[in-house]
Amino acid sequence: MKSALKKENWSLLLEILSQPTAPYREGHVVTLVERTLNKASVPFFRDPIGNLVIGARSSAELLKLLRRAGGQPRDPDEPLRIFMAHMDHPGFHGTRWVNKDTLEIKWHGGSPVEYLEGYPVWLGSAQGWEDKGTIFSARLMKHKRAIDTARIKLSSPSLHSRFKNPSALFGGFSFRKPVWQEGKLIYTKAADDLVGTFAIVSLACEIFGRKTGAKPRKGLPTVPFVGILTRAEETGFIGAIGHLQLGWYAHARRPLLFVSLETSRQLPGAQIGKGPIVRLGDRFTVFSANALRVLLDVAEKTLPKKYQARVMDGGACEATAATVYGLPAVGFSIPLGNYHNQAFEGGPDCGGPMGPAPEFVHQDDVAGMLALCRAILKPKLSWANPFENRRKNFKKSFVKARKLLKSG
Ligand SMILES: [Zn+2]
Protein backbone atom coordinates (compact mmCIF):
# COMPACT_ATOMS: atom_id res chain seq x y z
CA MET A 1 0.00 0.00 0.00
CA LYS A 2 1.61 3.22 -1.18
CA SER A 3 0.86 6.01 1.22
CA ALA A 4 2.26 8.49 3.67
CA LEU A 5 1.44 5.97 6.40
CA LYS A 6 4.38 3.99 7.69
CA LYS A 7 4.17 0.23 7.25
CA GLU A 8 3.81 -0.53 10.95
CA ASN A 9 1.01 2.02 11.28
CA TRP A 10 -0.89 0.49 8.41
CA SER A 11 -0.90 -2.94 9.99
CA LEU A 12 -1.99 -1.40 13.31
CA LEU A 13 -4.96 0.27 11.55
CA LEU A 14 -6.01 -3.06 10.01
CA GLU A 15 -5.64 -4.81 13.33
CA ILE A 16 -7.77 -2.24 15.17
CA LEU A 17 -10.44 -2.34 12.42
CA SER A 18 -10.54 -6.14 12.81
CA GLN A 19 -11.67 -6.04 16.45
CA PRO A 20 -15.29 -6.80 17.33
CA THR A 21 -16.80 -3.79 19.13
CA ALA A 22 -20.17 -2.32 20.13
CA PRO A 23 -21.33 0.29 22.64
CA TYR A 24 -20.38 -0.92 26.18
CA ARG A 25 -18.52 -3.86 24.61
CA GLU A 26 -15.19 -2.23 23.74
CA GLY A 27 -13.01 -4.83 25.52
CA HIS A 28 -11.22 -6.20 22.45
CA VAL A 29 -10.20 -2.72 21.26
CA VAL A 30 -9.03 -1.91 24.81
CA THR A 31 -6.92 -5.10 24.97
CA LEU A 32 -5.26 -4.45 21.61
CA VAL A 33 -4.60 -0.77 22.39
CA GLU A 34 -3.13 -1.60 25.81
CA ARG A 35 -0.89 -4.29 24.30
CA THR A 36 0.32 -1.83 21.63
CA LEU A 37 1.00 0.94 24.17
CA ASN A 38 2.80 -1.42 26.55
CA LYS A 39 5.03 -2.65 23.74
CA ALA A 40 6.05 0.94 22.96
CA SER A 41 6.35 1.92 26.67
CA VAL A 42 3.64 4.57 26.27
CA PRO A 43 2.15 5.65 29.63
CA PHE A 44 -1.62 5.17 30.04
CA PHE A 45 -4.29 4.26 32.57
CA ARG A 46 -8.00 3.45 32.68
CA ASP A 47 -10.30 6.00 34.24
CA PRO A 48 -13.11 4.76 36.55
CA ILE A 49 -15.51 4.57 33.56
CA GLY A 50 -13.18 2.28 31.61
CA ASN A 51 -12.01 4.93 29.13
CA LEU A 52 -8.30 4.81 28.29
CA VAL A 53 -6.25 7.90 29.14
CA ILE A 54 -2.97 8.00 27.21
CA GLY A 55 0.04 10.16 28.08
CA ALA A 56 -0.05 9.80 31.87
CA ARG A 57 0.50 6.78 34.12
CA SER A 58 -2.31 7.56 36.58
CA SER A 59 -4.99 10.10 37.43
CA ALA A 60 -2.49 11.67 39.87
CA GLU A 61 -0.02 12.14 37.02
CA LEU A 62 -2.70 13.59 34.74
CA LEU A 63 -3.63 16.08 37.48
CA LYS A 64 0.05 17.05 37.77
CA LEU A 65 0.13 17.65 34.01
CA LEU A 66 -3.00 19.78 34.26
CA ARG A 67 -1.61 21.79 37.16
CA ARG A 68 1.72 22.44 35.52
CA ALA A 69 1.51 26.04 34.37
CA GLY A 70 2.42 26.41 30.72
CA GLY A 71 3.77 23.82 28.34
CA GLN A 72 7.27 22.85 27.43
CA PRO A 73 9.07 25.10 26.63
CA ARG A 74 7.41 26.97 29.48
CA ASP A 75 4.91 29.02 27.60
CA PRO A 76 1.76 30.01 29.47
CA ASP A 77 -0.22 30.17 26.21
CA GLU A 78 0.65 26.62 25.13
CA PRO A 79 -2.54 24.53 25.59
CA LEU A 80 -2.52 20.87 26.56
CA ARG A 81 -4.00 19.15 23.48
CA ILE A 82 -6.43 16.47 24.61
CA PHE A 83 -7.32 14.24 21.66
CA MET A 84 -10.53 12.24 21.93
CA ALA A 85 -11.86 9.31 19.90
CA HIS A 86 -14.27 6.50 20.70
CA MET A 87 -13.71 2.77 20.66
CA ASP A 88 -17.31 1.64 20.10
CA HIS A 89 -19.48 1.41 16.98
CA PRO A 90 -23.26 0.92 16.69
CA GLY A 91 -24.23 -2.68 17.36
CA PHE A 92 -26.45 -4.96 19.42
CA HIS A 93 -26.49 -6.88 22.70
CA GLY A 94 -28.33 -10.17 23.22
CA THR A 95 -31.32 -9.77 25.56
CA ARG A 96 -33.21 -13.10 25.56
CA TRP A 97 -32.99 -16.61 24.14
CA VAL A 98 -36.18 -17.21 22.14
CA ASN A 99 -35.07 -20.80 21.49
CA LYS A 100 -31.78 -22.64 21.01
CA ASP A 101 -30.88 -20.94 17.77
CA THR A 102 -32.76 -17.62 18.05
CA LEU A 103 -31.52 -14.66 20.07
CA GLU A 104 -33.52 -11.51 20.77
CA ILE A 105 -31.40 -8.37 20.65
CA LYS A 106 -31.45 -4.67 21.52
CA TRP A 107 -29.70 -2.32 19.12
CA HIS A 108 -27.52 0.53 20.46
CA GLY A 109 -26.78 3.57 18.25
CA GLY A 110 -27.52 4.32 14.60
CA SER A 111 -28.24 1.65 12.00
CA PRO A 112 -29.60 0.97 8.53
CA VAL A 113 -33.38 0.81 8.39
CA GLU A 114 -34.13 -0.89 5.04
CA TYR A 115 -33.38 -4.35 3.57
CA LEU A 116 -32.66 -5.71 7.03
CA GLU A 117 -34.53 -9.03 6.78
CA GLY A 118 -32.07 -11.90 6.40
CA TYR A 119 -28.91 -9.75 6.28
CA PRO A 120 -25.84 -11.45 7.85
CA VAL A 121 -24.60 -10.36 11.27
CA TRP A 122 -21.54 -11.31 13.32
CA LEU A 123 -21.56 -12.20 16.99
CA GLY A 124 -18.80 -11.77 19.53
CA SER A 125 -18.18 -12.25 23.24
CA ALA A 126 -15.47 -11.30 25.73
CA GLN A 127 -13.52 -14.27 24.29
CA GLY A 128 -13.58 -13.00 20.67
CA TRP A 129 -15.50 -13.65 17.46
CA GLU A 130 -18.17 -16.27 18.05
CA ASP A 131 -20.56 -17.01 15.21
CA LYS A 132 -22.58 -15.64 12.33
CA GLY A 133 -26.30 -15.31 12.00
CA THR A 134 -29.00 -13.40 10.15
CA ILE A 135 -31.28 -10.63 11.37
CA PHE A 136 -35.07 -10.82 11.16
CA SER A 137 -38.22 -9.28 12.72
CA ALA A 138 -36.46 -5.94 13.19
CA ARG A 139 -38.49 -3.20 14.86
CA LEU A 140 -37.41 0.39 14.40
CA MET A 141 -37.24 3.08 17.07
CA LYS A 142 -40.17 5.52 17.17
CA HIS A 143 -38.15 8.08 15.19
CA LYS A 144 -37.60 5.40 12.49
CA ARG A 145 -33.90 6.21 12.09
CA ALA A 146 -32.47 3.08 13.75
CA ILE A 147 -33.27 -0.46 14.81
CA ASP A 148 -34.72 -0.85 18.30
CA THR A 149 -35.03 -4.63 18.70
CA ALA A 150 -34.73 -7.64 16.40
CA ARG A 151 -34.11 -11.38 16.39
CA ILE A 152 -30.99 -13.18 15.23
CA LYS A 153 -31.13 -16.64 13.67
CA LEU A 154 -27.85 -18.34 14.58
CA SER A 155 -26.07 -20.78 12.33
CA SER A 156 -25.65 -23.33 15.16
CA PRO A 157 -27.22 -23.93 18.61
CA SER A 158 -23.80 -24.15 20.32
CA LEU A 159 -23.87 -20.54 21.55
CA HIS A 160 -27.05 -21.25 23.47
CA SER A 161 -25.33 -23.89 25.56
CA ARG A 162 -22.20 -21.75 26.13
CA PHE A 163 -23.88 -18.44 26.89
CA LYS A 164 -26.72 -18.83 29.36
CA ASN A 165 -26.51 -15.05 29.84
CA PRO A 166 -27.58 -13.61 26.45
CA SER A 167 -26.10 -10.16 27.16
CA ALA A 168 -22.60 -11.67 27.03
CA LEU A 169 -23.17 -11.79 23.26
CA PHE A 170 -22.95 -8.69 21.09
CA GLY A 171 -22.64 -8.02 17.37
CA GLY A 172 -23.23 -5.99 14.25
CA PHE A 173 -23.67 -6.31 10.49
CA SER A 174 -21.28 -8.70 8.81
CA PHE A 175 -19.61 -8.30 5.42
CA ARG A 176 -17.17 -10.41 3.38
CA LYS A 177 -14.40 -9.62 5.93
CA PRO A 178 -14.03 -7.36 8.98
CA VAL A 179 -11.72 -5.19 6.84
CA TRP A 180 -10.50 -5.17 3.24
CA GLN A 181 -9.06 -2.75 0.72
CA GLU A 182 -10.11 -1.73 -2.80
CA GLY A 183 -7.61 0.70 -4.31
CA LYS A 184 -7.17 3.44 -1.74
CA LEU A 185 -10.50 2.76 -0.06
CA ILE A 186 -10.56 0.78 3.18
CA TYR A 187 -13.85 -1.09 3.69
CA THR A 188 -14.75 -2.33 7.15
CA LYS A 189 -17.58 -3.30 9.48
CA ALA A 190 -16.69 -0.24 11.62
CA ALA A 191 -14.49 2.72 10.66
CA ASP A 192 -16.38 5.05 13.05
CA ASP A 193 -14.49 5.57 15.26
CA LEU A 194 -11.81 2.93 15.16
CA VAL A 195 -9.96 5.15 12.67
CA GLY A 196 -9.88 7.94 15.29
CA THR A 197 -8.75 5.38 17.89
CA PHE A 198 -5.95 4.31 15.55
CA ALA A 199 -4.88 7.94 15.00
CA ILE A 200 -4.50 8.55 18.75
CA VAL A 201 -2.63 5.30 19.41
CA SER A 202 -0.38 5.93 16.44
CA LEU A 203 0.42 9.50 17.59
CA ALA A 204 1.05 8.32 21.16
CA CYS A 205 3.52 5.68 19.94
CA GLU A 206 5.35 8.30 17.85
CA ILE A 207 5.51 10.76 20.76
CA PHE A 208 6.27 8.48 23.71
CA GLY A 209 7.36 5.31 21.95
CA ARG A 210 10.58 3.62 23.02
CA LYS A 211 12.35 0.65 21.51
CA THR A 212 11.70 -2.65 23.28
CA GLY A 213 14.10 -2.95 26.19
CA ALA A 214 14.75 0.81 26.43
CA LYS A 215 14.47 2.33 29.89
CA PRO A 216 11.08 3.88 30.61
CA ARG A 217 11.07 7.68 30.81
CA LYS A 218 11.05 9.32 34.20
CA GLY A 219 9.18 12.49 35.11
CA LEU A 220 6.27 14.15 33.36
CA PRO A 221 5.90 13.96 29.57
CA THR A 222 7.04 17.13 27.82
CA VAL A 223 4.87 16.99 24.68
CA PRO A 224 1.49 18.69 25.38
CA PHE A 225 -0.42 15.56 24.32
CA VAL A 226 -3.11 13.55 26.08
CA GLY A 227 -5.30 10.95 24.37
CA ILE A 228 -8.70 9.83 25.65
CA LEU A 229 -10.23 6.71 24.09
CA THR A 230 -13.82 6.55 25.17
CA ARG A 231 -16.62 4.03 25.53
CA ALA A 232 -20.25 4.15 24.39
CA GLU A 233 -20.09 7.32 22.28
CA GLU A 234 -22.77 5.97 19.98
CA THR A 235 -25.40 6.11 22.72
CA GLY A 236 -24.81 9.82 23.48
CA PHE A 237 -21.06 10.01 24.34
CA ILE A 238 -21.62 8.27 27.68
CA GLY A 239 -17.91 7.50 28.20
CA ALA A 240 -16.91 11.11 27.47
CA ILE A 241 -19.59 12.45 29.84
CA GLY A 242 -18.41 10.12 32.59
CA HIS A 243 -14.83 11.24 32.02
CA LEU A 244 -15.71 14.94 32.10
CA GLN A 245 -17.89 14.39 35.19
CA LEU A 246 -14.77 13.30 37.12
CA GLY A 247 -14.02 17.03 37.45
CA TRP A 248 -10.29 16.62 36.76
CA TYR A 249 -10.14 19.49 34.27
CA ALA A 250 -11.37 22.01 36.85
CA HIS A 251 -7.87 21.66 38.38
CA ALA A 252 -6.12 22.85 35.21
CA ARG A 253 -3.73 25.77 35.56
CA ARG A 254 -2.91 25.87 31.89
CA PRO A 255 -5.05 26.32 28.77
CA LEU A 256 -6.69 23.14 27.50
CA LEU A 257 -7.86 22.24 24.03
CA PHE A 258 -10.01 19.19 23.35
CA VAL A 259 -9.59 17.81 19.83
CA SER A 260 -12.19 15.27 18.73
CA LEU A 261 -10.94 12.85 16.07
CA GLU A 262 -13.96 11.43 14.30
CA THR A 263 -15.06 9.53 11.26
CA SER A 264 -18.08 11.50 10.02
CA ARG A 265 -20.74 11.03 7.39
CA GLN A 266 -19.69 12.34 3.96
CA LEU A 267 -21.50 15.61 3.13
CA PRO A 268 -21.32 18.14 0.28
CA GLY A 269 -17.98 19.93 0.77
CA ALA A 270 -16.63 17.13 2.95
CA GLN A 271 -15.93 14.37 0.49
CA ILE A 272 -14.12 11.08 0.64
CA GLY A 273 -10.58 11.27 -0.76
CA LYS A 274 -10.43 15.08 -0.71
CA GLY A 275 -8.59 15.27 2.60
CA PRO A 276 -9.28 15.42 6.33
CA ILE A 277 -11.86 17.90 7.55
CA VAL A 278 -11.33 20.72 10.03
CA ARG A 279 -14.62 20.23 11.86
CA LEU A 280 -16.08 23.66 12.51
CA GLY A 281 -18.96 22.22 14.49
CA ASP A 282 -21.42 19.37 14.68
CA ARG A 283 -25.19 18.95 14.73
CA PHE A 284 -25.39 20.53 18.19
CA THR A 285 -22.98 23.48 18.23
CA VAL A 286 -20.10 25.25 16.53
CA PHE A 287 -16.66 24.91 18.14
CA SER A 288 -14.06 27.29 19.60
CA ALA A 289 -13.54 30.12 17.07
CA ASN A 290 -10.03 31.05 18.25
CA ALA A 291 -8.68 27.52 18.18
CA LEU A 292 -10.39 26.81 14.83
CA ARG A 293 -8.53 29.77 13.30
CA VAL A 294 -5.24 28.13 14.36
CA LEU A 295 -6.37 24.77 12.97
CA LEU A 296 -7.35 26.32 9.63
CA ASP A 297 -4.02 28.19 9.36
CA VAL A 298 -2.12 25.01 10.23
CA ALA A 299 -4.16 22.98 7.70
CA GLU A 300 -3.52 25.51 4.93
CA LYS A 301 0.22 25.33 5.63
CA THR A 302 0.45 21.55 6.14
CA LEU A 303 -1.95 20.30 3.45
CA PRO A 304 -2.49 23.19 1.02
CA LYS A 305 -5.73 22.51 -0.92
CA LYS A 306 -5.78 18.96 0.44
CA TYR A 307 -7.99 19.54 3.45
CA GLN A 308 -11.66 20.43 3.84
CA ALA A 309 -13.53 22.53 6.38
CA ARG A 310 -17.18 22.57 7.34
CA VAL A 311 -19.74 22.09 10.07
CA MET A 312 -20.25 18.32 10.09
CA ASP A 313 -23.89 18.31 11.13
CA GLY A 314 -24.59 14.70 10.15
CA GLY A 315 -24.10 13.86 13.84
CA ALA A 316 -22.75 15.13 17.16
CA CYS A 317 -19.28 14.36 18.49
CA GLU A 318 -17.26 14.45 21.68
CA ALA A 319 -16.17 18.05 21.06
CA THR A 320 -19.78 18.88 21.89
CA ALA A 321 -19.48 17.01 25.20
CA ALA A 322 -16.37 19.07 26.10
CA THR A 323 -18.06 22.31 24.96
CA VAL A 324 -21.08 21.61 27.16
CA TYR A 325 -18.70 21.23 30.14
CA GLY A 326 -17.26 24.68 29.38
CA LEU A 327 -14.02 23.38 27.85
CA PRO A 328 -12.63 24.74 24.55
CA ALA A 329 -12.98 22.12 21.83
CA VAL A 330 -12.42 21.60 18.11
CA GLY A 331 -12.26 18.57 15.86
CA PHE A 332 -10.85 16.83 12.84
CA SER A 333 -12.95 14.36 10.85
CA ILE A 334 -12.31 11.72 8.24
CA PRO A 335 -15.10 11.71 5.62
CA LEU A 336 -16.93 8.40 5.98
CA GLY A 337 -18.81 6.34 3.41
CA ASN A 338 -21.93 4.38 4.42
CA TYR A 339 -22.10 6.09 7.84
CA HIS A 340 -23.32 3.72 10.57
CA ASN A 341 -23.46 0.91 7.99
CA GLN A 342 -26.25 2.62 6.04
CA ALA A 343 -25.80 2.43 2.27
CA PHE A 344 -25.71 6.20 1.63
CA GLU A 345 -22.98 5.66 -0.96
CA GLY A 346 -23.57 1.96 -1.71
CA GLY A 347 -20.72 -0.11 -3.16
CA PRO A 348 -19.60 -3.68 -2.44
CA ASP A 349 -21.71 -5.86 -0.11
CA CYS A 350 -24.45 -3.22 -0.03
CA GLY A 351 -27.86 -4.65 0.85
CA GLY A 352 -29.92 -2.11 -1.17
CA PRO A 353 -30.67 1.64 -0.83
CA MET A 354 -30.38 2.57 2.91
CA GLY A 355 -29.79 -1.12 3.65
CA PRO A 356 -26.75 -2.55 5.47
CA ALA A 357 -23.34 -1.73 3.95
CA PRO A 358 -19.69 -1.68 5.04
CA GLU A 359 -18.32 1.70 6.10
CA PHE A 360 -15.34 2.99 4.13
CA VAL A 361 -12.66 5.65 4.34
CA HIS A 362 -9.86 6.81 2.03
CA GLN A 363 -6.31 6.04 3.17
CA ASP A 364 -5.03 9.49 2.10
CA ASP A 365 -7.64 11.14 4.36
CA VAL A 366 -6.38 9.04 7.28
CA ALA A 367 -2.75 9.98 6.57
CA GLY A 368 -3.85 13.62 6.22
CA MET A 369 -5.54 13.62 9.62
CA LEU A 370 -2.38 12.26 11.23
CA ALA A 371 -0.36 15.01 9.51
CA LEU A 372 -2.72 17.68 10.89
CA CYS A 373 -2.55 16.23 14.40
CA ARG A 374 1.27 16.28 14.31
CA ALA A 375 1.20 19.85 13.01
CA ILE A 376 -1.06 21.19 15.78
CA LEU A 377 1.24 19.65 18.39
CA LYS A 378 4.11 21.87 17.29
CA PRO A 379 5.13 24.59 19.75
CA LYS A 380 4.53 28.31 19.34
CA LEU A 381 1.32 28.31 17.30
CA SER A 382 -0.71 31.47 17.81
CA TRP A 383 -3.25 29.97 20.27
CA ALA A 384 -3.51 33.11 22.39
CA ASN A 385 -3.79 35.56 19.54
CA PRO A 386 -4.88 33.85 16.33
CA PHE A 387 -6.48 36.92 14.77
CA GLU A 388 -3.53 39.27 15.27
CA ASN A 389 -2.47 39.41 11.60
CA ARG A 390 -6.03 39.88 10.45
CA ARG A 391 -6.47 42.73 12.92
CA LYS A 392 -3.36 44.45 11.53
CA ASN A 393 -4.80 44.11 8.00
CA PHE A 394 -8.14 45.47 9.17
CA LYS A 395 -6.41 48.54 10.61
CA LYS A 396 -4.59 49.12 7.32
CA SER A 397 -7.87 48.91 5.36
CA PHE A 398 -9.41 51.42 7.71
CA VAL A 399 -6.51 53.87 7.37
CA LYS A 400 -6.70 53.52 3.57
CA ALA A 401 -10.40 54.27 3.56
CA ARG A 402 -10.16 57.39 5.72
CA LYS A 403 -10.09 59.76 2.81
CA LEU A 404 -13.23 58.22 1.33
CA LEU A 405 -14.97 58.31 4.71
CA LYS A 406 -14.27 62.03 4.98
CA SER A 407 -15.32 62.67 1.40
CA GLY A 408 -19.00 61.84 2.04
ZN1 LIG B 1 -18.22 8.37 15.78
**What string of H, E and C letters represents the secondary structure of 116-147?**
CCCCEEEEEECCEEEEEEEEEEEEECCCCCCE
Residue 75 CA to ligand 1 centre (angstroms)? 33
Pick the CATH number of 7-88+181-388 from 3.30.465.10, 3.30.70.260, 3.40.630.10, 3.40.50.1820: 3.40.630.10
Confidence (pLDDT) at 221 = 72
Confidence (pLDDT) at 214 = 62
Distance in angstroms (rounded) separating the CA atoms of residues 221 and 71 = 10
Query: Taking the model in full, what pTM does it have?
Result: 0.94
Tally of helices (H runs) and strands (E runs) in the chain: 10, 17
Residue 118 CA to ligand 1 centre (angstroms)? 26
Distance in angstroms (rounded) separating the CA atoms of residues 166 and 82 = 37
Count of Cβ atoms closer than 10 Å to residue 396 Cβ: 10
Residue 237 CA to ligand 1 centre (angstroms)? 9
Query: CATH 2.40.30: does it fit domain 92-174?
Result: yes
Confidence (pLDDT) at 381 = 94
Give the residue extent of every domain in the chain: 7-88+181-388, 92-174
Confidence (pLDDT) at 2 = 41
CA-closest candidate to residue 244, choices 235, 254, 256, 234: 256
Contact 290, 383 (CB under 8 A): yes
β-bridge mates for residue 104, sequence order: 96, 151
Residue 24 CA to ligand 1 centre (angstroms)? 14
* Burial classification of residue 248, based on how many CB atoms lie within 10 Å of its CB (0-12 exposed, 13-18 middle, 19 or more buried): middle
* Residue ranges for the chain with pLDDT beneath 50: 1-4
Confidence (pLDDT) at 156 = 83
Q: Strand, helix or coil at 275?
A: coil
Q: Say if 7-88+181-388 and 92-174 have the same CATH topology.
A: no
Residue 245 CA to ligand 1 centre (angstroms)? 20
Confidence (pLDDT) at 314 = 86
Distance in angstroms (rounded) separating the CA atoms of residues 298 and 304 = 9
Confidence (pLDDT) at 217 = 65
Distance in angstroms (rounded) separating the CA atoms of residues 370 and 335 = 14
For residue 234, report the phi and psi dihedrals to the nearest 5 degrees: -70, -10
- Percentages helix, strand, coil for the chain, rounded to the nearest 5? 30, 30, 40
